[in-house]
Amino acid sequence: MRITSAEVLVSSPGRNFVTLRITTDNGFVGLGDATLNGRELAVAAYLSEHVVPLLIGRDAHRIEDTWQYLYRGAYWRRGPVTMASIAAVDTALWDIKAKVAGLPLYQLLGGRSREGLLVYGHASGAELPELFDSINEHLEEGYRAVRVQTGIPGLSSVYGVASSKNAAAGAGSGSDARYDYEPARRSAVPVEETWDTRAYLRHAPTVFEAVRNEFGPELPLLHDAHHRLTPIQAAKLGKSLEPYDLFWLEDVTPAENQAALRRVREHTTTPLAIGEVFNTIWDYRELFEEQLIDYVRSPVTHAGGITALRRIFDYAAVYQIKSGVHGPTDVSPVGLAAAIHLGIAIPNFGIQEYMRHSAATHEVFRTSYRFADGMLIPSDDPGLGVDYDDLVAQSFPYEAAYLPVNRLTDGTMHDW
């Protein structure tokens, strides 16, 4: 079964996505997600100019060999552009293999270890009443775990906080609609926001105290620090949040400095999650072997695909570390579907991030997974269970969009 074509599809139904579609000589089609938020065209070019020519004529069944060929064949290994490209190929080939077998992909990964994946949603608001409304909305929708983010007194906007008050800046179009998590904003250059670490460290514990008082001790609560803190600041935050029993504290300090997590671990028992900006197993070695984290955040899309992320999870399981796959709306429904199938199969699943894609996104990507009782559940359709509508996609052309950058209150560019 030979690969006869590999198409790189760029569309923007609500936000930008890069999709790889591989077709074989006997008519099987597989999809892979290669979206890299704010750098989509870099991955599209890498795929089109350097990867697609290598795929034509290859045996689509040889997934492991193709993964090694693409990884080892590039002298410049690793990195988000390379690994997102490899991930797209790998996921598309797994999609094809499962379709040839006539089985949902999770069956080829060992079958079910659970009926569904517990997910968490993103609750946020500029102030506590808005945050409480958001938490209640998520609970009414069926979520059983929520990530909590709020505005900070003195700051006009905060990354990761959906609010009508900063919608005009967030949407970039004068809209009064809320923008949501990971707000890649339509603009030619990144928007700059102001950040105040001391104000954040003072405010965060008061928020979680209020949330616990309002919603009780049983609701799993998560929080993302978005890499903004030094190791000692991160340790201080983790310790201050211990009374509120977080499910996890995410990305407390820039992840490149793995040794920094030792300082955090020494001072707090709050569970730690990290890794959404990691893209290979090598990024985790020190964190796993010294047991410095509790949850792995890498998504299928940015960590080299199903083949590579399964290896990471197997390595993590040796140290009783669980999965917590990154799943915001800049991972396409193809990438989310791949994460669902993998999460259903692995023994050390922890939780899955889930933010609903827009209606426009689902017009382009037709999905068969479902959300019920706080869980994501794959269908039993062969493969990933996702189709791509070319005709609809043509009405959503690429538009430049970037995540914001931060400056401290003294004007210094923040290093997170």
Q: What are the counts of helices (DSSP H) followed by strands (DSSP E) for the chain?
A: 15, 19
Express each pLDDT in 202-245 by its tens digit.
Answer: 999 999 999 999 999 999 999 999 999 999 999 999 999 999 99
The answer to whether 120 is a known catalytic residue is no
Compute CA distances 347 → 21, 109, 314, whole Å. Answer: 30, 11, 9
pTM: 0.94
Q: Which residues are bridge partners to 119 per DSSP? A: 352
Query: How much is the pLDDT for 171?
Result: 37
Express each pLDDT in 131-182 by its tens digit.
Answer: 999 999 999 999 999 999 999 998 887 887 875 444 433 333 334 455 555 5
Marked catalytic residue, from 226, 267, 362, 414: 226
The answer to whether 362 is a known catalytic residue is no
- Domain borders along the chain are 2-104, 117-383
The arrangement of secondary structure in 2-104, i.e. its CATH architecture, is: 2-Layer Sandwich (3.30)
One-letter amino acid at 379 equals S
Domain 117-383 has CATH 3.20.20.120: yes
One-letter amino acid at 129 equals P
Q: Which residues are bridge partners to 32 per DSSP? A: 20
Distance CA 212, CA 141 (A): 20
Instruction: Indicate the angle between helix axes 63-73 and 80-101, nearest 10 degrees.
Output: 170
Strands (E), 14-116: 17-24, 29-33
Distance CA 36, CA 18 (A): 8
Marked catalytic residue, from 46, 143, 159, 369: 159
The whole-number mean pLDDT for each consecutive block of 10 residues of the chain, a chain of 416 residues, reads: 98 96 98 96 98 98 98 91 98 98 98 98 95 97 97 85 50 44 72 89 98 98 95 97 98 90 96 96 96 98 98 98 96 98 98 96 98 97 98 96 81 66
> Among candidates 45, 118, 98, which has minimal Cα distance to 338?
98
Q: 379 CB contacts (<8 Å, ≥6 apart)?
A: 104, 368, 369, 370, 385
Distance CA 167, CA 180 (A): 9
> b/e per residue, 121-153, with b = 16+ CB within 10 A?
bbbbbbeeebbbebbeebbeeebbbbbbbbbbe
